[in-house]
Amino acid sequence: MLNQKGGVGGGGATDGSNGKMKPQYNELSYLVTRQCLQQEEFNQLSQYDREKGAPIDTLKNAFRGCNPFSSLLNFIPILQWLPKYHCKTDLLGDITAGITVAVMQIPQGMAYGLLAGVPANVGLYMAFFQCLVYAVFGTSRHISMGTFAVVSLMTAKVVTTYATLPPIGSATWNASFAEPSVIEPSDDPQYTPIQVATAVAFVCGIYHFLMSALRLGTLSSLLSEPLVSGFTTAAAVHVLISQLKDLLGVSIPRYKGAFKNIFSVRDIVEQVPNSNLTAVYTSTIVILFMIFMNEYLKPRASNWCRLPIPAELLVVVGGTVASYFIGLGPNFNVTLVGSIPVGLPAPEMPPLALLQLVAVDAIAIAIVSYSIVMSMGLIFAQKEGYEVRANQELIAMGATNIVGSFFSCIPTACSLSRSLIQHQAGGKTQITAVVSSLLILVVLLWIGPYFESLPRCVLASIIFVALKGMLWQVQHIKKFQREGSLELLVWLITFLSVVIIDIDIGLLIGVVFSLVALYIKGWKSYYSLLGTVPDTGIYVDLGSHHRAEEVPHIKIFKYSGAINFASRATFKKALTKEVGVDQRLIRRASQYEAAGEGAGLQLIKTLIIDLSSVPHIDTSACKMFSEVKKDMGTVGVSTLIACPADCVYDTLLHAESIGEGGFHIFPTIHDAVLYAQGSASTV
């Protein structure tokens, strides 16, 4: 029986060789005594079950545990939490947060509705219909659904591409700001901006349902932090450029396709001398007021007032009143919001012919909107200690977008600023969304027409100031630079591609490069030779632990990373480099069976391959292990395998069953070392 001493007692002592104090160890010492085990013996001892998790068993368990009532509760989460709602503790906070969010929804909904190329009241429809639907199906209690700048901008691109009638705010929009200019009759079908936008929302909802059915809730994890930061920062630049024409009071054409930002900036620079000075003065006043409120007054008021000051609503009301009495539209030619119909829209199915046209464009919008919702939901769930279910969020977004598409709504997402305010104002559940929706309903039924004289430059100024947080993400460059060159490159390539080329193409380029960077990082493997710290039986990297010593006549090679058909050559090259057994030496040893040039290798009797940091191998890797074993045997070195994970061990056994194995496998490195030493002593 082979024994192992697993600890050393005693205090510090002076090392006679250099006069330095040796490190002090724990006063307690332990003696570990057991028989040397091979992996199969250890598996019998631990009763390892290789059949665990078989697909047929998983399917049986799934059907056995299926409960229709439980499934209904999971599908409609409001049925779970509403009966347990605590009115005494939660209702006041939800009402307060609902009022606060509704106040923010009015100006933001109108502004981002126009940003999407549709009438301003569409943003208010979203704040009513889509918020209510998400409250029924969603699992996050704190996010505020509705308009979001990036999604509105991506929708505007599709509207510009497929709408036959000009988008809201384009150069061809009639001066009445209510009806589009006359379009010449054509045999081709003509689509309004609303029809295109609702078709995009409908297709996004279909995609979300399909993603949920395929259990692709983790798909958003493909969007890495550098990718999301670079994309949203670049999207903020797009939004900023799109609002410059309203800030200056000029008209420029809307461009389609790649490099449209460059063309838009060129036209805006050319139109600067023709700026409407009244619009410029109004924009400047609003921007300065918003900066003063956000940077100076709001932070100080938060110390004594729980509710945030509704600066955006004050600007909208003040701008509307001033425009009405001064006559900014008729007297100074300032572009106004225009007609806001009273009431709710009649349900209408998006044109079926449009669904196929927008199908490709909707893919990016569906993924981006879901990623924003999921990331914000997880942030609040971690803070408040509840669960957000990824696939249920897909169902919620699918239902929200499909229902919204019947009521003139564009694709939805959650607003970062509104969600933060909803949480800070004391919101506890999605009752907040119900309260907010009821207040928006009042605006739609009675108050909406009073905002018809609101200047568009006021809404553009609100968007301009709201972009600060997204534009400020450019500071993330320093953080990603510290994390590594690949993270920095992902950010820069995504940002530049989105800004210079276009949103969807730039996002695709960013995703591809992010995946390439992920592959490169996974391709980089770590390998080393291990030695043991004297009297411990612990094996560590010889290059990092200077007191570690190599075990006589034994090379212990550790590799970190998956070993498969793509990385097997890298593994073999690293092994040859560290162990010092190259193909030339193997060929010479095979030619001279009586040792010859291979005699020098008798200093190495055993090679131990540590697989403790290898998460996966394939059959080609097992074949490569067999080649290594054969090559090492040629020069008189036996090959052992140590510490495989269960899945790796199963693959090794499978390889052995088809004639690619025949390895000695051990549960620990020390077992392999003891076996090698015992085998050498019996020779």
pLDDT of residue 433: 94
> Which tokens is 299 given?
């932070």
Residue 179: what pLDDT?
42
pTM reported for the whole predicted model = 0.73
Q: Which amino acid is at 9?
A: G
- pLDDT of 94-131, one tens digit each? 998 999 899 889 998 999 999 999 999 999 999 999 99
Could you state, in order of their start, the residue ranges of all structural domains in the chain? 87-167+191-520, 525-680
- Statement: 525-680 belongs to CATH 3.60.20.10: no
At 14, is the pLDDT very low, low, confident or very high (cuts 50, 70, 90)?
very low
* pLDDT-based confidence at residue 32 (cuts at 50, 70, 90): low
Residues contacting 386, CB < 8 A, separation 6+: 141
Q: Facing residues of 528 across strands?
A: 558
Phi, psi of 108 (to 5 degrees): -65, -40
State the pairing for strand pair 554-560/526-533. Answer: antiparallel
Q: Is residue 255 pLDDT above 90, yes or no?
A: no
Q: Which pLDDT value is given to residue 523?
A: 65
Please report which confidence band the pLDDT of residue 289 belongs to, taking 50, 70 and 90 as the band edges. very high
**Over 452-491, what HEC string results?**
CCCEHHHHHHHHHHHCHHHHHHHHHHHHHHHHCHHHHHHH
CB atoms within 10 A of CB 296: 10
What is the distance of C-alpha 149 from the center of its chain?
18
CB 100 within 8 A of CB 94: no
Q: Alpha-carbon distance 149 to 238, whole Å?
A: 10
Mean pLDDT across 516-520: 80
Average pLDDT over residues 142-146: 92
Answer whether 30's CB lies under 8 Å from 6's CB: yes
The Cα–Cα gap between 413 and 400 comes to 10
For residue 500, give both structure tokens. 């210079």
pLDDT at residue 170 is higher than 60: no
Per-residue pLDDT band at 588 (split at 50, 70, 90): low
Q: How would you write 608-650 as a 3-class SS string?
A: EEECCCCCCECHHHHHHHHHHHHHHHHCCCEEEEECCCHHHHH
597-650: per-residue pLDDT in tens?
A: 444 445 688 899 999 888 888 888 888 888 888 888 887 888 999 999 888 888
Distance set, CA 220 to CA 365, 393, 414, 501 (Å): 12, 12, 15, 23
More confident position, 410 or 186: 410
d(CA 336, CA 543): 71
Task: Provide the percentage of residues in the chain whose pLDDT is more than 70.
Answer: 83
CA 165 to CA 144: how far, in whole Å? 32
Residue 168 — very low, low, confident or very high, per pLDDT cuts 50/70/90?
low
Assess contact for 376 and 211: CB atoms under 8 A: no
CA distances from 211 to 183, 204, 220, 362, 390 (A): 39, 10, 11, 13, 10
> Considering only CA atoms, which of 219, 222, 204 is closest in space to residue 158?
204
If you average pLDDT over residues 176-181, what whole number do you get? 41
> Given this model, what pLDDT does residue 60 score?
54
What pLDDT, in 10s, does the model give residues 297-316? 888 887 787 677 888 889 99
